[in-house]
Amino acid sequence: MLIIGFLALCRSFLAERATTSVAITVPSVVVLLLLWLRPTDGDDSDDSEATPIKLPEWGILTIKPFFRTRFDFLSSSFELCGKSIFQFNLLRNTVIAVSGEVGRKDFFTSKGLDINEGFAFLSGAIPMLPGVTSDLQARRISMIHKRLSTAQNSDHLSRLLPRILADSTGIMRTWGNSGTLDLFDSVPKLFFQTTVRALAATEIADDAALVARLKELYDRLDETTTPTCVLLPWFPSPSMLGKLLASKRIYDIVNHAIELRIQSGRHGDDTLQILLDSGDDRMVVLGFIMGLLVAGARSTGTTASWLLAFLESHPEWKYKAIAEVEQLVSDHSSLPLSNSHETQLSAVPIEAWEGNMPVFDAMIRETLRVAQPHTAMRRNIGPDTYINGARIPSGAYVVYPFSDVHLNSALYPDPWRWDPARSESKMPFSYVGWGGGKTVCLGQRLAKLELKTVISLYLLEFKSDLVDGSGRRPDSLPRPNWNDALTCKPPSGSYMVEYSRRKTDFSL
């Protein structure tokens, strides 16, 4: 009703003289917003032990900390409540936070908790196009998942690998033979390029300026994702208008590439062609590309940045990583050493990248544990269910912070320490770096391949050392900021690398 009322007010604003409309409309919108912001009392009639304890604060006060300092908010709230599960309100929406071994297991195995509805509402950091990237039907979501599986089959990845390495070489050449690099700026840009190559169209990936423009637009989506536009998506706030504009421009770029391919009649060897050959409708193709490029704009690039930062601050693991790459090339490439690193790495088969790199596998796993500040988000689409004995009503949102397990000192002693040699816990769901239960990352095969190939190329191409903003070896090691839910990066310019290009000498 509030939405209908707001739209009616907008129509009256357009129909009447401006001065009169402002006098009537603005106060009316304020009243409507206050009604919407008024917290609900919830189901106070149910005081049973099965009802999660309520956070003892007025609902509106939880909005900013949940979106801006989520790690601190959830950690302190669990401590305040003294329970492994509690509930709070985001405006008129009930959100239930869970933790602990039993809660974790119930969360990841519950059939009624839907990731798509939970992420769409509580995250908001995706392009906003109903029917394309949001408000998707289950059939369309299933189709996108199926196409992602096809885009990661071994034949396609084998053809893709040399192109990923070529893109990476080209970008690394722009860095010059020596200099200072901000890992948390330059590396995400590099990985966005490789993700565009892997998941979009050649027409986009071959145009460096267009890729840079796309990256800028996805970053703008992050900047314009505010509590207001997430919780009040119908209200035309400046952040919402900026988000819509960025979404529209992303749509225009992707749609234009699709039109070029169709009109030209050219048959490309890329993911776009897989989608077109499968006969998918335009909305599926657009949704696939626009939605999945988020991974390149954020997750994979963030993981790569932190992995390199950890390697620079742990020389013993850097030695091991370089030795593993050298051995990989020696075992699987018959090309002479005079060939470029790009050419040598391109000759390594997919099965070797995936099966013969235990050091990289351990480093990626540990990086995801320490530097992935995710909070899993779900919505109970019904019926009522239970987590650790507490009732989760239909329609409620449920969140589980990865910190509950990944920074748990009982499972990972000295949890902030990056140590790929850690032994793996046998406890169920003791590691959720790629998700858990029925919701695991469907793009992890491609993500792992990108991380291994591009970082291997970097290690062979450059000698590098970690420095602080003043160019000196830092006194402390970089530590992920878990309140930065998207990149968890340290303050800008606080950790850099000084590098120089290698020839054939792999000494540190």
Q: Are 147 and 236 contained in the same domain?
A: yes
The verdict on 173 and 268 lying in the same domain is: yes
Question: Mind listing the pLDDT tens digit for each residue in 121-179?
Answer: 777 666 655 555 555 566 777 788 888 899 999 999 999 999 999 999 999 999 999 99
CATH of residue 269: 1.10.630.10
Average pLDDT over residues 293-313: 90
Which residue segment(s) compose the domain that 110 sits in? Answer: 2-131+376-406
- Same structural domain for residues 117 and 173? no
Name the DSSP letter for residue 424. Answer: P
- Confirm whether 508 is domain-assigned: no
In this structure, the answer to whether residues 354 and 402 fall within a common structural domain is no
How far is Cα 167 from Cα 165, in angstroms, rounded to an integer?
5
- Do 367 and 397 reside in the same domain of the chain? no
Q: Could you read off the pLDDT of 358-374 as tens digits, one per residue?
A: 999 999 999 999 999 99
What mean pLDDT is predicted for residues 418-423?
95
Examine the domain organization and report whether 234 and 279 are in the same domain.
yes
Determine, yes or no, domain membership for 493. yes
Is 454 within the bounds of a domain? Answer: yes
Which of 325, 341, 323, 362 is closest to 448 using CA atoms?
362
The answer to whether residue 213 is domain-embedded is: yes
pLDDT given at position 170: 96
pLDDT for res 414:
95
pLDDT > 70: what percent of the chain? 85
The answer on 113 and 56 residing in a single domain is yes
Tell whether 119 and 153 lie within a shared domain: no
Q: pTM of whole model > 0.85?
A: yes
Q: How many domains does the chain have?
A: 2
* pLDDT score for 387: 95
Residues 380 and 263 occupy one common structural domain: no
CA gap 173, 163 in Å, rounded: 15
Give yes or no: residues 181 and 312 share one domain. Answer: yes
Does residue 40 carry a pLDDT above 80? no
pLDDT value of residue 335: 67
Q: Are 458 and 497 in contact (CB under 8 A)?
A: no
Residue 43 lies in a domain: yes
Of 167, 272, 274, nearest in space to 211 by CA: 167
Whether residues 149 and 298 fall in one domain = yes
Region 416-425: mean pLDDT is 93
Q: Decide if 470 is inside a domain.
A: yes
Whether 328 is in a domain gets the answer yes
Give the H/E segment covering residue 178: strand 178-181
Task: Select the more confidently predicted residue: 308 or 284.
Answer: 308
35 and 143 inside one domain: no
Cα separation, 138 vs 229, in Å, equals 24
In which residue are the tokens 């009616």 written?
A: 8
Kindly provide the b/e burial profile for residues 179-200, where b requires at least 16 CB atoms within 10 angstroms of the residue's own CB: eebbbbebbbbbbbbbbbbbbb
Confidence label for 464 from pLDDT (cuts 50, 70 and 90): very high
Instruction: Please give the average per-residue pLDDT across 200-218, as a whole number.
Output: 96
Report the range of poorest mean pLDDT among 15-19, 206-210, 219-223, 301-305: 15-19
Q: Quote the CA–CA distance of 479 and 470 in Å, as a whole number.
A: 18
Looking at residue 337, its pLDDT comes to: 59
Q: According to the annotation, is 81 in a ligand binding site?
A: no
Place of tokens 């609900």: 40
Query: Terminal CA-to-CA distance of the chain, rounded, Å?
Result: 66
506 within some domain: no
